[in-house]
Amino acid sequence: MVLAELGGRISRALQQMSNATVIDEKVLTECLNEISRALFQADVQFKMVQNMQANIKKIVNLEDLAAGHNKRRIIQQAVFNELCNMLDPGKTSYTPKKGKPNIIMFVGLQGSGKTTTCTKYAYHYQKKGFKPALICADTFRAGAFDQLKQNATKAKIPFYGSYTETDPVKIAQEGLERFKRENYDLIIVDTSGRHKQETALFEEMRQVSVAMNPDLVIFVMDSSIGQAAFDQAQAFKQSVSVGAVIVTKMDGHAKGGGALSAVAATKSPVIFIGTGEHMDEFEAFETKPFVSRLLGMGDWSGFMDK
Amino acid sequence: FSSIFQSVAGKSALEKTDLEPSLKALKERLMTKNVAEEIAEKLCESVAVSLIGKKLGSFTRVASTVQAAMEDALLRILTPKRSIDILRDVQSAKEQGRPYVIVFVGVNGVGKSTNLAKVAYWLLQHEVSVMMAACDTFRSGAVEQLRTHARRLQIPIFERGYEKDPAIVAKEAIREAMQTKQDVVLVDTAGRMQDNEPLMRALSKLINLNKPDLVLFVGEALVGNDAVDQLTKFNQKLADLSATGSQQLIDGILLTKFDTIDDKVGAALSMVYISGAPVMFVGCGQTYTDLKKLNVKSIIKSLLK
Ligand SMILES: Nc1nc2c(ncn2[C@@H]2O[C@H](COP(=O)(O)OP(=O)(O)OP(=O)(O)O)[C@@H](O)[C@H]2O)c(=O)[nH]1
Ligand SMILES: Nc1nc2c(ncn2[C@@H]2O[C@H](COP(=O)(O)OP(=O)(O)OP(=O)(O)O)[C@@H](O)[C@H]2O)c(=O)[nH]1
Ligand SMILES: [Mg+2]
Ligand SMILES: [Mg+2]
C-alpha cells in the first residue's frame, strides 16, 4: 500500500534529524518541513498540516525548558501523537449487533464508491453470520439499480429497489419495512452521490436519513481526493449524523491523506478501506496499529496508548 | 510577514533570498487551491529563475513582481499549444467516409460514462449523428447505465453485454457505425487504476486496434496530488504498450465535477502542466447541459486569489 511510502518519508525525516549532532531550531524546522511536504503530497488538508507543525514546535519548545529530556524522543513522540490525533477521533463507531435489525446508510460524493462498498460491507458481515439485505435508494444515477442488483446477485444477497419510483424516501421506507418483516438483521441502504453545493440533494439525503433512522451513517470517500475533502466531509456531517468513514480505491497510487481530513471533519473513525473493485477487496482498519505501521513500527509501539 | 512586502528598490538586482518569502507564500496559496505539491514547487522554481538578476523598478514590491510573473507562467501553461476543433475534424472524417472515434479513459468513478453522454448531447446540438459503444464490459450496471443515456438521447448504442473483450466490441461498433453512416462513435471504457498493469494493457490494446481520432482523459476536479501520477502513467503506459511506431497518447482532458470544488481549481493546472494536453471540456453538473469550455482567466484568478 502506498500509504507506507508516506510513513517511510516521515521516518527518514526523523532519522535524518537523529543523525544531526545537535538538534537546534534549524534542524527541527528542516525535519518538520520535510514531514509537512510528505503530508501535503498525501493530500492532507493544508490547515491541518500547518497546525500540526505549530503544535509540534510548541510541545518541543516547552519541553525544551525542562532539562534532562531527550529531545529526539520528544520530537518523535510528538509526531506520532499528532498523526494519531489526526486519524483517531477518540471514539469508536457503531458495530452491527446480532439479534436485532441493524440499519446502515451509505452517503458520499459522486463516484466515491458507495454502491460497490455497500455490497463489500454486506458480504463482509454475511461471512460473519449476519443476514444482510441491500436497498437501492439511488433513483438518480442511470443504471444505479442494475449495478446494485448485479452486485447483490453475485454475493447472493437480497435487494430492494425500483426502476420506476423516483422518490428515494419511499423506496427506503418500503425496503426497510419489507426486510424488517423478513427478519434481516443488517439492512443497508445505498444513496445517490451528492455534493454540498447542491442544497436540494442534501435535503433529500436528510429525508432518507429521517425515514430510515439508521444506526450508522457511513461516509464513503475516494482516497485520491485533494483539498476539497475537508469541506465536503464536514458538510455531510452537518446534514446527517455520520458515524464512520470508509476510504476506497486504496489499491491505487493515492496516499489517502484526504481520509485524515475526513476523519477530522466528521470526527468519525475510518472503519474499512477498499482495495479493489471485487467484492472481497476490503480490509478492516484500525488507527493505532496503522499509524505505527505507517511510521515503520519497531520502537513506535512503545508510544501507543499514552 | 512584513518582509513579503519589503521593497528592494535601490538594490541592484533581485537575488534568490529576496524572492523566497513571496514564493513561499505563493506556493502555499497554490497548494490550498489544490495544485499538486510537486507542480506548485516547480512553478515557483521557474518563476524564481525568470526573476533572479532582474532589476525592480522603484516602488515596485517583490510580492507583486512575483505575482505578475506567476500569472504569466500560468497563462502560458493553461493556454493550449495544440488546438483541437472536434466539429471540424468530424466533418473531415465524414468526407473520408468514416466515423470520427472518441475514446473516454480514466480511473474509476471520475465521470467517464456520464460525460460521454454529455458530449453526445453536445454533438447532437451541432447536428452530428452519434453512436455509443458500451465497452465497459466489466463494472456491474455499466452497460445498462449507457443504455439509459442512449435511450434518453434517442441515439443508437452498440453493446455486446459483459465479459467481452472491449477492444473487439469497439472494433465491431466502429464497423457498424461505418455501415449505418454515423458521424461519431463515443467509446466508453471501464475505469482503471493507472498502476493496474493488466487493465492498462487491455486499454492499450483497445487503442492500438482501433486508432481513435481522439483519446480523452477524464479526470475529476476533486483529485489531489494523484492527478500528476494518473496522467503521467496513462500517457506512459499507452506509449510503452503501443504496438506501432506512431504512439497514441492522451489528446485532451475532460475535467469533471467542477461544480463540487468551490475555488479549489488546482487540479486543472496539475493535469495540464503534467500532460501538456488541453482541457477540452469541463463537466459542471449531472445533467446533459452541464458541459462547458475551460475559462483560463477565471482559473488563474481563482488560483491567485
Ligand atoms: N480500484 C478500485 N475501484 C473501486 C473501489 N471501490 C469502488 N471502485 C470503483 O469506483 C467506481 C465508482 O464506484 P461506485 O460504487 O459506482 O461509486 P458510487 O459512490 O456508488 O457512485 P455514484 O452512485 O454515482 O455516486 C466503480 O468503477 C467501482 O468499481 C476500490 O476500492 N478500488
Ligand atoms: N457533480 C457532478 N457529478 C458528476 C459530474 N460528472 C459525473 N458526475 C457523477 O459522478 C458519478 C460517476 O459518474 P460515471 O459517469 O458513472 O463515472 P465513470 O468514470 O464512468 O465510472 P466507472 O465507469 O465506474 O469508472 C455519477 O454519480 C455522475 O452523476 C460532474 O461534472 N459534476
Ligand atoms: Mg452508486
Ligand atoms: Mg463508466
> pLDDT of chain A along its 306 residues, tens only?
345 666 777 778 877 877 777 777 888 888 889 889 988 998 999 999 999 899 888 888 766 655 556 777 777 778 878 877 888 888 889 999 999 999 999 999 999 999 999 999 999 999 999 999 999 999 999 999 999 999 999 999 999 999 999 999 999 999 999 999 999 999 999 999 999 999 999 999 999 999 999 999 999 999 999 999 999 999 999 999 999 999 999 998 888 888 788 888 999 999 999 999 999 999 998 776 666 655 554 444 444 443
> According to the 3-state scheme, what is the secondary structure of chain A?
CCHHHHHHHHHHHHHHHHHCCCCCHHHHHHHHHHHHHHHHHCCCCHHHHHHHHHHHHHHHHHHHHCCCCCHHHHHHHHHHHHHHHHHCCCCCCCCCCCCCCEEEEEEECCCCCHHHHHHHHHHHHHHCCCCEEEEEECCCCCCHHHHHHHHHHHHCCCEECCCCCCCHHHHHHHHHHHHHHCCCCEEEEEECCCCCCCHHHHHHHHHHHHHHCCCEEEEEEECCECCCHHHHHHHHHHHCCEEEEEEECCCCCCCCHHHHHHHHHHCCCEEEEECCCCCCCEEECCHHHHHHHHCCCHHHHHHCCC
- Cα of B134 to ligand 4 centre, how many Å? 9
Residue A278: count of CB within 10 angstroms of its CB? 11
- Cα of A158 to ligand 3 centre, how many Å? 17
Helix ranges (DSSP H) in B2-36: 16-32
Chain A residue closest in CA terms to B151: A142
User: Which residue has its alpha carbon closest to ligand 2 atom 13?
Assistant: B111
ipTM: 0.95
Instruction: Report the residue from B111, B140, B152 with minimal CB separation from A111.
Output: B111
Reading the block at residue B171, the C-alpha cell is 472494433
Q: Indicate the DSSP class of residue B4.
A: G
Reading the block at residue B161, the C-alpha cell is 453485454
Is the CB of B259 inside 8 Å of chain A's CB atoms? yes
Instruction: Report the residue from A110, A150, A251 with minimal CB separation from B140.
Output: A150
Contact criterion met (CB below 8 Å) for B138 and B103? no
pLDDT for res B2 = 46
pLDDT for res A22 = 74
Is the CB of B27 inside 8 Å of chain A's CB atoms? no
- Cα of B121 to ligand 2 centre, how many Å? 16
Is the CB of B302 inside 8 Å of chain A's CB atoms? no
Residues 105-164 of B with CB under 8 A from A: 107-111, 113-114, 117, 138-149, 152
Inter-chain touch A222–B144, beta carbons under 8 Å: no
Is the CB of A278 inside 8 Å of chain B's CB atoms? no
Residues 5-24 of A with CB under 8 A from B: none
Reading the block at residue B225, the C-alpha cell is 496530488
pLDDT for res A306 = 34
pLDDT for res B82 = 80
CA distance, residue A88 to nearest chain B CA (Å): 22
Is the CB of B298 inside 8 Å of chain A's CB atoms? no
Mutate to test the interface with B, among A1, A3, A35, A41 (most CBs of B within 10 A): A41
Question: Position A29: which residue type?
Answer: T
Query: Which of A225, A264, A226, A230 is CA-nearest to residue A248?
Result: A225
Distance CA B38, CA A11 (A): 20
Sheet strand arrangement including B252-256: B157-158, B130-135, B184-189, B100-105, B214-220, B252-256, B279-283, B291-292
Instruction: Please identify, by atom number, the ligand 2 atom nearest to the C-alpha of residue B116.
Output: 15
> Which residues have any ligand 2 atom within 6 Å of their CB?
A 110-111, 141, 193, 195; B 106, 108-115, 136, 139, 142, 190-191, 256-257, 259-260, 283-286, 290
Residue list, CB under 5 A from ion ligand 4 = B 112-113
Question: Position A55: which residue type?
Answer: N
Q: Which residues share a beta bridge with B219?
A: B255
Reading the block at residue B141, the C-alpha cell is 450496471
Distance CA B129, CA B147 (A): 17
Is the CB of B98 inside 8 Å of chain A's CB atoms? no
Contact criterion met (CB below 8 Å) for B46 and B40? no
Is the CB of B279 inside 8 Å of chain A's CB atoms? no
Distance CA B37, CA B59 (A): 32
Name residues of chain B where pLDDT drops below 50: 1-2
Inter-chain touch B141–A148, beta carbons under 8 Å: yes
Distance CA B266, CA B227 (A): 10
- Per-residue pLDDT of B125-172, as tens digits, reads 999 999 999 999 999 999 999 999 999 999 999 999 999 999 999 999
CB pairs under 8 A between A and B: 144
Is the CB of A97 inside 8 Å of chain B's CB atoms? no
pLDDT for res A300 = 41
Is the CB of A109 inside 8 Å of chain B's CB atoms? yes
- Per-residue pLDDT of B175-187, as tens digits, reads 999 999 999 999 9
Instruction: Among B105, B107, B108, say which to mutate for ligand 1: greatest number of ligand atoms within 8 Å of CB.
Output: B108
pLDDT for res A62 = 64
Instruction: Please identify, by atom number, the ligand 1 atom nearest to the C-alpha of residue A252.
Output: 1
* Residue B34 phi, psi (nearest 5): 75, 25
Distance CA B303, CA B71 (A): 9
pLDDT for res A96 = 98
Contact criterion met (CB below 8 Å) for A216 and A269? no
For residue B11, the SS3 value is coil
Among all chains, which residue has been given the C-alpha cell 466489466? B138
pLDDT for res B118 = 98
Sheet strand arrangement including A270-274: A159-160, A132-137, A186-191, A102-108, A216-222, A242-248, A270-274, A282-284
Phi-psi region of A97 (alpha: psi -120 to 50; beta: other; left: phi over 0): beta
Q: Indicate the DSSP class of residue B182.
A: -
Question: Position B290: which residue type?
Answer: D
Inter-chain touch A195–B31, beta carbons under 8 Å: no
Instruction: Report the residue from B109, B142, B225 with minimal CB separation from A41.
Output: B225
